[in-house]
Amino acid sequence: MISYAIAILLIISPGEKPNSLYPYATLIESAAFYLELMDKREYSYFFQRDQEFSTDLRALHVRWECVKNAPSLKEAALLPDLESCNTVLRFNRSYEEGIRQFLVLYPDNAKAQDALAETVRCYQIWDAMRDAQQTYYSPVIRRQALEKVRHTMGEDYANYPPFVPLRYFWRG
């Protein structure tokens, strides 16, 4: 157990990294997996050669610095599933295309320009939610997407943003 704690400290501590602790590479990989810095697919890329040990350890530390305050991947379960995100994003792009066509005819229309800007913002949020669900992305990319979602939406994942800015829809 103490060796596992040392492996975590080696990853998260700043400064120079040891040149070789190669016998502990598997333990460090397990710690990186636990910290959601890498997934099992990456095991074949890290700590394969003793002379690259400190470089690989520094790479894990850089990943740690990128996501140390980001939400855990478990929080992705609180977001809409991948298929729902893709459906929303397709609708958003279709709506955006309609606004762009309108702006060709009326380029100075301020409401249409505002609607376009808001539509792009909605897309960015939903795109980050989709990225958080992409299991083939690295855990770091997914956690960065979750950080963007949390920064935009706050801690309340239950109140999803609209697909598009609804206030620009006409009421009949």
* pLDDT tens figures, 35-80: 999 999 998 888 888 888 888 999 999 999 999 999 999 999 999 9
Q: What is the pLDDT of residue 148?
A: 95
pTM of the model: 0.87
Average pLDDT of every residue of the chain: 90
Distance CA 64, CA 86 (A): 29
Give the Å distances, CA to CA, from 11 to 30, 33, 123. Answer: 11, 11, 35
Percent of the chain with pLDDT over 70: 97
**Sequence ranges of the domains in the chain:** 2-67, 73-168
Give the pLDDT band of residue 170 (cuts 50, 70, 90).
low
